[in-house]
Amino acid sequence: MILEQRGFTVNDQIEKIIDSKVNAIGFFSGAGGLDIGSQLAGAKVISSLDFDVDSVKTMNANKYFNHAVHYHKDIQAVTAEDYKELLKANNPEKLILIGGPPCQPFSKGGYWVTHDRRKANDDPRNMIGNYLRVISDLRPDGFLLENVESILHPTNKIAVENLKNSIDQLGYDFQIVKSNALDYGVPQKRKRVFFLASRKKFIGEPIKTHGSSDEIKLNPSLLPYENVGNWIEKYNIEKFFENEELTTGKTYSQELMAVPPGKNYIALTSRHNYPDPKFTAGTRFWNFLLKLDPKLPSWTISAQPGPWVGPFHWSGRRLRVPEIAALQTFPEDYIFVGNRRSIQKQIGNAVPSLLGKSMVEHLISNIS
C-alpha cells in the first residue's frame, strides 16, 4: 500500500484570517478543535473560554490564536459585559458564537437510568442553558451548538424540545445536522450533532466532501473516506517515541500483538476459529484490544480510554500524541500543554478541526 501523507499547519497561516469581517467567540473551547475549524472557515476567533486550565494554556501556546483573548472561566460567571470592549475593538461585520456544552447529561452511559429518573434538562453538568443565556445577551448573527449523537435519543426528548423552543424564542432559524466526521475529510468515525442557528432562513446543508464507494458512484465529486495510514504513518519513527506507548510485558501484551490490524479481541476467540481461544466473544467491550488498520478510518478517539481500550496502533502499541491529534485533524504544528493524561483528554474531547470547518462554513454562508 502506498501512503499519501496528509496534514496541515496553522501557526504559520495567521495572516489569512486576521482581517476577517466575520468574528467568532468560542465557549467550552477545550484545546480548540472547533476554534481551529472556525478560523479555517474564515471566521476569526476573538475569544475562547474554558474551565480547564491546561486547555486555556494550549490555546495561548499557539500563534494561530495570538489575536484572541483566552478566558479561564466558568461560563456561569460570564456576562455580555465581559465582551463589550473586545467587540468594540474588533468591530465585526458579523458575529457568531461557537461551542459544545458538556455532553455528560446526554451520553449513552446514562441510558441505564429510567426515563422517569433521567432529567438531563435539570442536570447541573448541563451548561446549555448558560450558553443560551450568553447568546441572548450578545445577540450574534448566528451560533453553533455541538453535542454527542445521543442528545437525540428519546430519553432526552424533553431537553431537546426545550432547546428547540429556546432557540425559536430567541428569534433564530435553525438546523439540526447529524454528522459523521468521516463525511468531511476526517480519518475517524465520529458521530456528532450540531444545532446551527441564524437570524436568516437556512438554505441548503453542510457540504459533504467524502463518501463510501457506493456514495461516490452516485456523486463522483466526493472523495474516498480518509484512511489512518495517510495521516499518522509519518509519526511511526523513533523520533516520536513515547514511554506511554509501551505495552510489552504487561497484562495483555501478547494478546494485543496477536490481534490482526482492524480487529479486536474477538479475533482471538472460537467464533473466529482461533486455535487457542484467549477470550469468549461478547464478554468484553467491543474496543477491547481494538487495532487500527492503516487502510481504513479510525474508530472514535476517546478522552479517557482504559488501559486496554483501543484503538491501538496496528504495530501493537498505544497511539502517540501526534497520532491521536492527527486523527482529530489537529494541525501538525499545534502545541498542546499538560501531562499525557491531560493532553489525551483535551484531544479526545475536541471537535475534529475539519468537521468544525465544514459546519462553520455552512453557518457563515447562512448569515451573510
Residue 103 among the catalytic residues: yes
**Measured torsion, CA atoms of residues 166, 167, 172, 175, in degrees rounded to the nearest 10:** -150
Would you give the DSSP letter of residue 321? H
Would you give the DSSP letter of residue 191? E
Cα dihedral across residues 330, 332, 333, 337: positive or negative: positive
3-class DSSP state of 96: strand
Kindly name the residue from 103, 301, 337, 363 that is annotated as catalytic: 103
3-state helix, strand, coil in the chain (%, to 5): 40, 15, 45
* Kind and range of the H or E run holding 27: strand 22-27
**How far is Cα 155 from Cα 291, in angstroms, rounded to an integer?**
33
- Residue 71 and residue 93 in contact, taking contact as beta carbons nearer than 8 Å: no
**How far is Cα 252 from Cα 232, in angstroms, rounded to an integer?**
24
**How far is Cα 339 from Cα 129, in angstroms, rounded to an integer?**
32
Cβ neighbour number for residue 108 with a 10 Å cutoff: 10
Which residues are part of the catalytic machinery? 103
